[in-house]
Chains A and B, each alone.
Chain A
């Protein structure tokens, strides 16, 4: 059987669903740490609803997507619907899909953009087990009135020191959208993160 045998459909209502997801992504990055609802999972797609919808809304034929897994079905599904090519190396990607937290790549593997064009950086889409209930951190920065308390679950220990380095490189740096099921939460490069307990 050829590979098109498992191809899943895309957004049910291409125009409006992608506009909604795009708006939610803008909101998520403008108000870091606030949870945004994106939409339910798509039939036949193993990704969470928010992650799948963001990919379909944001990627196109000029944005290579890096996939952690070697499963061929998802890249093919995205390519069919948006034309997004697969990035061979993490630093060539415009978007990176990270669903396996045990093997989370180092943030420095991805392209931070250049000083002249910081917008050419990579945006990470990371699927977490939950967006609340984890160790509480204080987020500060543009888009946050005073302080935003966020408790992301499932991130490895080495993640936040890497994030500090990413924040320090401003205007270069990565932006992250964390997703969980139908919901998403933004962490742009401008956000400073401080631990409440411990370090």
Chain B
């Protein structure tokens, strides 16, 4: 736990985990490999639903406070005797967490890494970035600047 065990084999792993966590079920399902193409899947932690506390900061920079709880689903599975894939995703969709963990495991496998990175992660990352930019743009137009006039000397 002294060094980051998650990423020392693959420096970009946090990036693809973030993309997988935001992907929809349909997007993941469309790329899911057939069962017969894969080694046996071993469930280390079957998909389970829980809650996480979301924390916010006043004005983005102030003291942290508890904003509220959100449901998450998480899963860990192993491809044969190969790498361990993990996933956390907002929501209660177990299949989505399972697929995300499966893709994480496959991405750590040199045999699948490049193809998946090119065909799944890169397009999804682009889509998500676009959607994010669009939302930011839409919200920016409604931004209100608060300011107070300094009361002049009498």
**A residues neighboring B (CB under 8 Å):** 1-5, 7-10, 14, 80-81
Contacts and interface: CB of A to CB of B under 8 A. Distances in A.
Contacts of B76: 7, 80
Given A4-B5, A5-B83, 12 more contacts: A2-B6, A2-B8, A2-B9, A4-B84, A7-B44, A7-B78, A9-B45, A14-B46, A14-B48, A80-B44, A80-B45, A81-B45
Of B5, B44, B45, chain A has the most CB atoms within 10 Å of the CB of B44
A7 B84 contact: yes
A9 B45 CA distance: 6
B2 to A, nearest CB: 11
Contacts of A14: 46, 48
Contacts of B5: 2-4
Interface of B: 5-6, 8-9, 42-46, 48, 76, 78, 83-84, 86
Contacts of B45: 9-10, 80-81
A125 to B, nearest CB: 23
Contacts of A81: 45
Contacts of B43: 9
Contacts of B46: 14
Contacts of B42: 9
B44 A8 contact: yes
A10 B86 CA distance: 15
A55 B148 CA distance: 60
Contacts of B83: 4-5
A177 B153 CA distance: 79
B94 to A, nearest CB: 14
A91 B36 CA distance: 52
Nearest to B3: A2
B29 to A, nearest CB: 25
A7 B45 CA distance: 10
A1 B78 CA distance: 14
Contacts of B6: 2
Contacts of B44: 7-10, 80
Nearest to B44: A9
A3 B9 CA distance: 11
Contacts of A5: 83-84
Nearest to B8: A2
A8 B78 CA distance: 10
A3 B8 CA distance: 11
Contacts of A4: 5, 83-84, 86
A29 B12 CA distance: 50
A80 B5 CA distance: 13
B129 to A, nearest CB: 29
A10 B9 CA distance: 25
Nearest to B9: A2
Nearest to B42: A9
29 contacts: A1-B9, A2-B5, A2-B6, A2-B8, A2-B9, A3-B5, A4-B5, A4-B83, A4-B84, A4-B86, A5-B83, A5-B84, A7-B44, A7-B76, A7-B78, A7-B84, A8-B44, A9-B42, A9-B43, A9-B44, A9-B45, A10-B44, A10-B45, A14-B46, A14-B48, A80-B44, A80-B45, A80-B76, A81-B45
